[in-house]
């Protein structure tokens, strides 16, 4: 994990978390004042406190300055613990009610594949590799040959990404990794060919298909994000702009615009349950991005450096951003229960003020540092 890439990665994730938990929740609270939406206190406190726990763990990693493979895997596994807690708590709260969320399960496997128009030749170089490596079991998009190809090629792609290929000394290890990926892919392909039908997707044992589709969608998102990060780092060097400020602003805002539109639409046009889902998503999303996004990167980097630890450059500005994020979460944790869990302008205005102050301080620091460098030069 290079210094420029690491800075922009950490700042992008924390910048996106700040935008969602401050701007999105703040605007939502102001606009929903008239509807008098009451947030589920148990779910709100659970998600917000777990996000604070995640930020505390991330702060320890940043202050410590390094992390090994076991620490990275432990950080990543916190998301599994969060999913288990959410599952059992929701099951307890909704006991006796019918859960119809399974009707949307098939959509989890195709978020990155939807929306390619017919005859769009320019999209084919990127669309075809995704289509051939992401398992899809949607009824309308089912194709047995493509399904078999996807489960065969997905492990091969993972083996290619997992192999660092740093020097010729790793050639033998590379062949071993490629061989394992190819063997595992062939086994999965044979099983998929024998256990599926030509006319319809499988009806049983859906979890491996959904898990595989979800994992490969995340992998492709990670690949695309890596290229965008490299592009931003290059632009930062060209225009002499700090990579961290690019991640905190441009990339973070770009990644969060979708959350802003989706959550606001769900909260304003939906039922009170829709508003509850939107609020929960504003905290569950950053938890996923921090634990799974950063966690997966840390696991990959520490795996390549094993048995050595990965050194994380200390960035005081990054810790400053994290402190403002914690302040906004504490504001929500204190104000919302005091307002009887009703979304209103007090909560929203406070969150927007914290975010404005945070960004203003960071921009002033960046401009001051740039002017100092110009004067010194």
- Please provide the size of the chain in residues: 377
pTM over 0.75: no
Is there a contact between 286 and 17 (Cβ–Cβ < 8 Å)? yes
pLDDT of residue 244: 65
Which 3-state string (H, E, C) describes 85-150? HHHHHHHHHCCCCCCCHHHHHHHHHCCCCCCCCCCCHHHHHHHHHHHCCCCCCCHHHCCHHHHHHH
CATH of the domain at 58: 1.20.1420.30
The total of other beta-carbon atoms located within 10 Å of residue 171's CB is: 10
Query: How many domains does the chain fold into?
Result: 1
Question: Rounded CA gap, 238 and 254, in Å?
Answer: 21
DSSP element (H, E) containing 250:
none
Which 3-state string (H, E, C) describes 183-199? HHHHHHHHHHHHHCCCC
Radius of gyration (C-alpha) of the chain in whole angstroms: 22
In a domain, 162, yes or no: no
What are φ and ψ of residue 207, in 5° steps? Answer: -60, -45
pLDDT of residue 102: 42
In a domain, 128, yes or no: no
pLDDT of residue 255: 67
SS3 235: helix
Tell me how far CA of residue 299 lies from CA of 45, 111, 302, in angstroms.
29, 25, 5
The candidate with the shortest Cα–Cα distance to 299, out of 47, 61, 49, is 61
In a domain, 236, yes or no: no
Question: Rounded CA gap, 3 and 311, in Å?
Answer: 9
302 Cβ neighbours under 8 A, 6+ residues apart: 67, 68, 69, 71, 72, 309, 310
Question: Rounded CA gap, 129 and 27, in Å?
Answer: 39
Is there a contact between 153 and 117 (Cβ–Cβ < 8 Å)? no
In a domain, 234, yes or no: no
Tell me how far CA of residue 103 lies from CA of 87, 108, 283, 300, in angstroms.
17, 11, 24, 34
Question: Rounded CA gap, 71 and 301, in Å?
Answer: 12
Question: Rounded CA gap, 282 and 19, in Å?
Answer: 10
SS3 1: coil
Strand spans (E) along the chain: 66-67, 310-311
Please list the residues that pair with 38 across neighbouring strands.
Answer: 342
In a domain, 277, yes or no: yes
Is there a contact between 26 and 349 (Cβ–Cβ < 8 Å)? yes
In a domain, 17, yes or no: yes
Is there a contact between 246 and 7 (Cβ–Cβ < 8 Å)? no
The candidate with the shortest Cα–Cα distance to 25, out of 320, 336, 303, is 336
pLDDT lower than 50: segments of the chain = 2-4, 98-119, 372, 374, 376
Is there a contact between 136 and 113 (Cβ–Cβ < 8 Å)? yes
In a domain, 203, yes or no: no
Domain encompassing residue 345: 3-93+243-376
In a domain, 325, yes or no: yes
């Amino acid at each position: 994990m290079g210094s420029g890439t690491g800075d922009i990665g950490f700042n992008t994730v924390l910048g996106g978390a700040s935008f969602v938990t401050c701007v999105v929740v703040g605007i939502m609270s102001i606009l929903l004042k008239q509807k008098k939406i009451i947030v589920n206190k148990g779910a709100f406190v659970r998600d917000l406190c777990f996000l604070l726990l995640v930020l505390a763990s991330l702060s320890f990693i940043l202050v410590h300055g390094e992390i090994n493979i076991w620490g990275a895997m432990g950080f990543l596994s916190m998301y599994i613990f969060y999913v288990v807690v959410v599952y059992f708590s929701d099951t307890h709260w909704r006991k006796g009610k019918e859960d119809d969320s399974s009707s949307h399960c098939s959509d989890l496997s195709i978020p990155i594949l939807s929306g390619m128009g017919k005859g769009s030749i320019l999209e084919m170089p990127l669309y075809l590799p995704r289509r051939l490596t992401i398992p899809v079991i949607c009824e309308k998009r089912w194709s047995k040959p493509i399904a078999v190809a996807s489960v065969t090629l997905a492990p091969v792609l993972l083996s290619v990404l997992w192999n660092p290929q740093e020097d010729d000394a790793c050639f033998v290890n590379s062949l071993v990794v490629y061989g394992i990926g190819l063997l595992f892919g062939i086994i999965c392909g044979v099983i998929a060919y024998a256990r599926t039908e030509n006319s319809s997707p499988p009806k049983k044992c859906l979890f491996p298909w959904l898990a595989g589709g979800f994992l490969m969608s995340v992998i492709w998102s990670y690949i695309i994000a890596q290229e965008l990060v490299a592009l931003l780092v290059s632009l930062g060097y060209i225009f002499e702009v700090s990579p961290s400020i690019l991640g905190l602003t441009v990339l973070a805002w770009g990644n969060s615009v979708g959350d802003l539109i989706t959550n606001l639409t769900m909260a304003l046009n939906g039922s009170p349950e829709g508003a509850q889902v939107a609020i929960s998503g504003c905290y569950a999303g950053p938890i996923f991005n921090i634990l799974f996004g950063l966690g997966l990167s840390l696991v990959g980097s520490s795996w390549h450096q094993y048995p050595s630890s990965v050194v994380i450059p200390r960035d005081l500005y990054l810790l400053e951003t994290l402190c403002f994020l914690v302040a906004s979460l504490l504001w929500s944790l204190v104000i919302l229960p005091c307002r009887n869990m009703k979304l209103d302008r007090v909560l929203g205005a406070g969150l927007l003020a914290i975010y404005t102050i945070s960004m203003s301080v960071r921009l002033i620091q960046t401009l001051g540092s740039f002017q100092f460098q110009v004067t010194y030069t």
